[in-house]
Structure 1
Amino acid sequence: MTDIANAALPGLTWADHSGVLVVTMDRPPANALNHSLVASLRTFFAELAPQAAPAPVVLTGAGARFFTAGGDIKELEGTGPAEIEGRMRDFHALLVALDRFPRPLVAAVNGHCVGGGMELVLFADTVFATPNAKFGFPEINHGLLPADKGIQRAERIIGARAVRSMVLSGDLFSAEQAVRIGLVEHLEEPDTLLGSAIVAARTAGAKAPVLYGALKRSVNDPDDARDERSLADTIAAANAYFVDPVAAGLRAGWNRDKVSTSRQPTDR
């Protein structure tokens, strides 16, 4: 099915379920998107897409509480502008790879799906979620910004008014609300989530690949020039907020809160 080596992609595992690849972000305790995991996801999709018959993919998170908690803010401590630019380039490249993946991509959201996790889900063809899942773009409250490409995708999928409210408030919202606004198609209990997502991916994968890929391109409308503008906007914004003292204070405060929380028992 795929000759991508598991050992070469830290934080990521996958298994073949009768023709469907279940890809799992596995980075305890919250599957946070550090530089390494982002690179693993980007490599996986970039190497799978050109294969002669890429398998349909279900993307999920390990554990019962987190799909992914988004970007790993702690990893930013002690880094400089060059490092933040590199991170944003890699995450943008991951979104581009998802945008151009020609085969079915189903998200099975097993818990909190925030920040960068929201951006991943926005590029899935179909989204399943458990009723306890939470969604949102909390970056404004933590001294960060989402990638411009992710925000533009959100505006296309959800609508400008809803996205404006999400990104400017930073508030999280429920799985039921995610269904109402069109982010999530199906709610499933935890014990049926993965199975239902696999069935959906297998059903979609049975469609003629040449037709599925062409229709997906038409719907997604990938555009190299637009992507270059989004990347430039993302890097410019990152360079500005990375050195801004108010944003830096928000990041530092969030890290202190995370350290305090991490000392509490977790049922990941």
Structure 2
Amino acid sequence: MTEDIATAGVLELSGIDESGVLIATMDNPPANAMNRALIRGLTELFVDLASGTDAPAVVLTGRGDRFFTAGGDIKELEGAEASELDGRMRDFHALLTALDRYPRPVVGAVNGHCVGGGMELALFTDGVLAVDHARFGFPEINHGLLPADKGIQRAVKLLGAHTARNLLLTGEIFGIRRAVDIGLVERVVEPDRLLTVAVERARTLAAKPAVLYAALKWSVNKPVDEDDGESLRATLSAAENYFDDPAAAAARARWSGRRDR
């Protein structure tokens, strides 16, 4: 691994000089929760790279051996107004859009828990490798929150309506075997080899002609401005309805209290 080429608080970038593959590591201990700084940092990264003439393949992972990311940072919502949630959801929608439209390979290297917004990130990569102890799920319904509409639509598209409905409506957290069975994870890798294998996978994909890879990825993902606008409106409308709902607020308070222990 080469020296870090950029460090931006909760996001560390490394590796590109050695392999031609950029490793982006979410680094917000203890659970790599996605606060607004991390969300905006990732968005800026993918937008800036895509605007260049030689965008690299990217491996996306988390710091440590327990968490890829535990999803959105609920602490940022404590005492916040509804407008704060509006801004967070706009930022997260922008991140998913940037991932959706990134023309080069993005490989998810899931090193631990990958839940909530982390599941959404994984679904917007071009392939997920994970360790045996990784855990997955959309627990938002149990925590007084909702995923982004764009993430929900991607889950339906990739995992199928029946599976996505079950995961979203139950909030179940599940292990690696089911993640492989439903097609979320393509390969289970030993923890000490995860980054090596992920970089190899990204390099293999990046060796394809860039113009063809980008065209095929665009056709598979089918990003459309009008659809993205509708997804954002649906996300913001849902957030406005649930943020001040007493039952949802109580669920968030219970979850926040458990995370303090």
What TM-score bracket applies, with the shorter chain setting the length? over 0.9
SS at match of 1:27: coil
Report runs of 4+ in structure 1 exceeding 4 Å deviation. none
Letter in 2 for 1:192: R
In structure 2, C-alpha distance between the alignment counterparts of 1:59 and 1:238, rounded to whole Å: 27
Look up the match of 1:263: none
SS at match of 1:219: helix
Look up the match of 1:64: 65
Look up the match of 1:257: 258
1:14 and 2:17 correspond = no
SS at match of 2:13: strand
Instruction: Render the CA deviation track for 1:57-85: whole Å, top value 9, x for unaligned.
Output: 00000000000000111110111111110
Look up the match of 1:199: 200
Look up the match of 1:27: 28
Letter in 2 for 1:11: V
Letter in 1 for 2:12: T
Structure 2 segments unaligned to the other structure (5+ residues)? none
In structure 2, C-alpha distance between the alignment counterparts of 1:20 and 1:6, rounded to whole Å: 14
In structure 1, C-alpha distance between the alignment counterparts of 2:74 and 2:189, rounded to whole Å: 30
Instruction: Render the CA deviation track for 1:208-258: whole Å, top value 9, x for unaligned.
Output: 100100000000010110110000000000011111010000000111111
Instruction: Render the CA deviation track for 1:91-135: whole Å, top value 9, x for unaligned.
Output: 000000000000000000000000000000001101100010000
TM-score (norm 2): 0.96
Please report how far the alpha carbon of residue 18 of structure 1 lies from its aligned counterpart in structure 2 after TM superposition: 1.6
In structure 2, C-alpha distance between the alignment counterparts of 1:50 and 1:184, rounded to whole Å: 29
* CA RMSD between the two structures: 0.9
Look up the match of 1:38: 39
In structure 2, C-alpha distance between the alignment counterparts of 1:256 and 1:126, rounded to whole Å: 34
Instruction: Render the CA deviation track for 1:128-183: whole Å, top value 9, x for unaligned.
Output: 00010000000000000000000000100000000111011001011111110001
Question: Superposed, which structure 2 residues align to 1:50-89 within 5 Å?
Answer: 50-89=51-90
Structure 1 segments unaligned to the other structure (5+ residues)? 261-268
SS at match of 2:146: coil
SS at match of 2:250: helix
In structure 2, C-alpha distance between the alignment counterparts of 1:185 and 1:6, rounded to whole Å: 29
Please report how far the alpha carbon of residue 22 of structure 1 lies from its aligned counterpart in structure 2 after TM superposition: 0.5
1:183 and 2:147 correspond = no
Please report how far the alpha carbon of residue 10 of structure 1 lies from its aligned counterpart in structure 2 after TM superposition: 2.5
SS at match of 1:6: strand
Look up the match of 2:111: 110
Look up the match of 1:140: 141
In structure 1, C-alpha distance between the alignment counterparts of 2:160 and 2:106, rounded to whole Å: 22
In structure 1, C-alpha distance between the alignment counterparts of 2:22 and 2:6, rounded to whole Å: 13
In structure 2, C-alpha distance between the alignment counterparts of 1:35 and 1:198, rounded to whole Å: 27
Letter in 1 for 2:6: N
Q: How many pairs align?
A: 255
SS at match of 1:49: helix
In structure 2, C-alpha distance between the alignment counterparts of 1:88 and 1:230, rounded to whole Å: 11
